[in-house]
Structure 1
Amino acid sequence: MAVSTQIQLASRPEGWPADENFSTVRVELPDLAEGEVRVRNEAVSVDPYMRGRMTDAESYVEPFAVGETMTGGAVGRVVESSSEDLPVGTPVLHQLGWRDLAQGPAEQFRAVREPEGAPLSLYLGILGMPGLTAYTGLTQAAGLREGDTVFVSGAAGAVGTAVGQIARLLGAGRVLGSAGSGEKVELLTGKYGYDAAVNYKDAPIREQLPEMAGEDGVDVYFDNVGGDHLEAALDVLNRNGRVAVCGAISQYNATEATPGPDNLAQLIKNSLRLQGFTVGDYLQHAEEFNRRMLEWFSEGRIAYDETVVEGIENAPEAFVSMMRGANQGKMVVRV
């Protein structure tokens, strides 16, 4: 009988997640029913949105249940099948998450094309949900226009590295970013096409951003951080500037309410627009994204980084490390 190693939520974290909030279990899998497949995962994803799902609070998606296996993006290959649609060997993407063996109806798994010369795990990053988030955040939430100056916070993460490249490919005039180390700043400007970037740990971002933006200001702010970064962006946004509010990672582990920006009057003064969104709002654009991104990727116009943690049992460690900014590009757990 096949046995699946799985990571479950053992308790709800207060503040930063810790080892005791997770447990590793081994689950015996039954024989396949008609129309089911068994998949051996190659990589599973850890993402910032998962922190919100560890809290029992109303949100845009159901919270994780205590005592159940963590779900989320994963890629692997079919190793046993009773479905004609997904024969053995098919590479697939699914949402069954933190486990080494996944099993279920074939409809829960989507066959994907093998990326030429690249790992299957790219479907957890630039070719997957983070890439789609970047694309729709720019094109739909922010209404990116040719020639816009774009500022991206958390720019060295999975979404941020995608935002900078896609903004450039869609005709942005300048792309600016912030990250948490000098090494990441060099990565943004040297590899990902950012015109300029700053290390927000060097000095308050509210002091650094006006100098980086200069007299031309900013037209679009893609917000992954919230807090002081949102406040700084409101200071430099041009009239009719737009903010795509994707995340607020600076606040996800706070145990007390955090104060909001002290300059919201800028919205009135400069006719600004703040648009919060989740990738689920724009799934109708997924086919368009897949077509354009695969074309860009095949032309060699897309760069990527992965930070890899080995072993499904280390998924909790990878998640916390990602939340603390230890990743360059996409953090994945290789099974």
Structure 2
Amino acid sequence: MNSRSILLANRPQGEPSAAQFRFETAEIPPLQSGEVLLKTLYVSVDPYMRGRMNEGKSYIPPFEVGEPISGGVIAEVVDSQNDSLPKGTVVLGNLPWSEYTVSNDKGLNPLPTDGAPISYFLGLLGMPGLTAYFGLLDICRPKAGETVVVSGAAGAVGTVVGQLAKIKGARVVGTAGSDDKVAYLQQLGFDAVINYKTTPDIAQALAEACPDGVDCYFDNVGGAISDAVYDLLNKHARIALCGQISHYNATQEPQGPRPEPKLLKTSTLLKGFIVSDYAERFPEGVQALSQWLQEGKLQFEETITEGFDQIPQAFLGLFKGENTGKQLVKVADYSRS
């Protein structure tokens, strides 16, 4: 039995393209004691993976040229030599972009299949939802009546951030890149949404949307949007620095206004974070998000592309704003669904 994998063919310069990906077919080896054969069901593609395509030290090792790309994957055990993971078990793990994978039980987390859709464990109940939960509630700590700004608000993290801020009684302003996304965020309850691609003066638009200034900023984007938000910060504002997608494909260090004087004069807290910083508290986050989902206080949008061949294009589409909510690739059906 053969399986296809997607390898990093070479490191990109600037924005990645299809040239960075290579498909390879290999025979699946027989299972050894303690191993399982996993059939990939869903693959997560995420902006942070762009950084892993570069060489250099970071918070997570880079992908190696000539090796399979890996990330969040939901898979089904279709053959097992491991009593703790019988056939039919659905698992979440950091796995290669492959149709089938032989693995032991290390790093595999069995998932329930009788509640929320299993794909949600790559979204609302997975890394994006937990990123929103801890970044907003642990760092920004919005209070009722405060103003929260979310950049990249229509993405997998941003949509959850905005809804959590509304649960906490805040006024929420988002930025997004299309009229459809603006309409969707308004449907979620955002108080104001700015289409940054069609707004000639983002600083003026943000000032008008935040007449009482900004108390919390959840930054997924960086760049000109963040520069404009810094001018609106209130005393003791809090900033959760989650992502900088506007810079990910830059070929040289971006230059811009230096924010330190603005942070100093407003006594603003600026904290960068990686969701794995909160690994010990993940059960808390999943429980809270699940509860709000059951109570109807959270909605979650998925953009699902079908087909293993489409994984590279789904990833590249992240940098063109093609997704609303969480971008996933469905590779196969769960046999027991």
Structure-1-length-normalised TM-score: 0.95
Counterpart CA distance in 1 for 2:55 and 2:269 is 30
Runs of 4+ in 1 over 4 A off after TM superposition: none
Query: Cα distance, 1:261 vs. partner?
Result: 2.6
**Structural mapping, 1:32-111, within 5 Å:** 32-111=31-110
Q: Which residue, out of 171, 175, 199, partners 2:172?
A: 175
Cα contact 2:196–2:202 (8 A) shared by 1: yes
**Structural mapping, 1:1-335, within 5 Å:** 2-114=1-113, 116=115, 118-169=116-167, 171-190=168-187, 192-203=188-199, 204-214=201-211, 216-335=212-331
Counterpart CA distance in 2 for 1:82 and 1:281 is 33
Question: Structure 2 stretches of 5 or more lacking a match?
Answer: 332-337
Cα contact 1:150–1:172 (8 A) shared by 2: no
Query: Cα distance, 1:167 vs. partner?
Result: 1.9
Cα contact 1:228–1:261 (8 A) shared by 2: no
SS at match of 1:96: strand
Question: Structure 1 stretches of 5 or more lacking a match?
Answer: none
The one-letter code matched in structure 2 to 1:34 is S
The one-letter code matched in structure 1 to 2:214 is V
Cα contact 1:39–1:80 (8 A) shared by 2: yes
Query: Cα distance, 1:263 vs. partner?
Result: 4.5
Counterpart CA distance in 2 for 1:138 and 1:78 is 35
SS at match of 1:127: coil
The one-letter code matched in structure 2 to 1:158 is A
Measured on the aligned residues, the alpha-carbon RMSD in Å equals: 1.4
Query: Cα distance, 1:98 vs. partner?
Result: 1.4
SS at match of 2:70: coil
Aligned length: 330
Query: Cα distance, 1:168 vs. partner?
Result: 2.0
The one-letter code matched in structure 2 to 1:123 is F
Counterpart CA distance in 2 for 1:70 and 1:141 is 31
Cα contact 1:178–1:199 (8 A) shared by 2: yes
The one-letter code matched in structure 1 to 2:283 is E
Query: Cα distance, 1:146 vs. partner?
Result: 3.9
Counterpart CA distance in 1 for 2:295 and 2:34 is 37
Counterpart CA distance in 2 for 1:218 and 1:73 is 34
Work out the percentage of aligned pairs sharing the same amino acid: 45
Counterpart CA distance in 1 for 2:276 and 2:256 is 26
Counterpart CA distance in 2 for 1:93 and 1:80 is 16
> 41-50 or 137-146: which moved more?
137-146
Query: Cα distance, 1:147 vs. partner?
Result: 3.6
Cα contact 2:142–2:170 (8 A) shared by 1: no
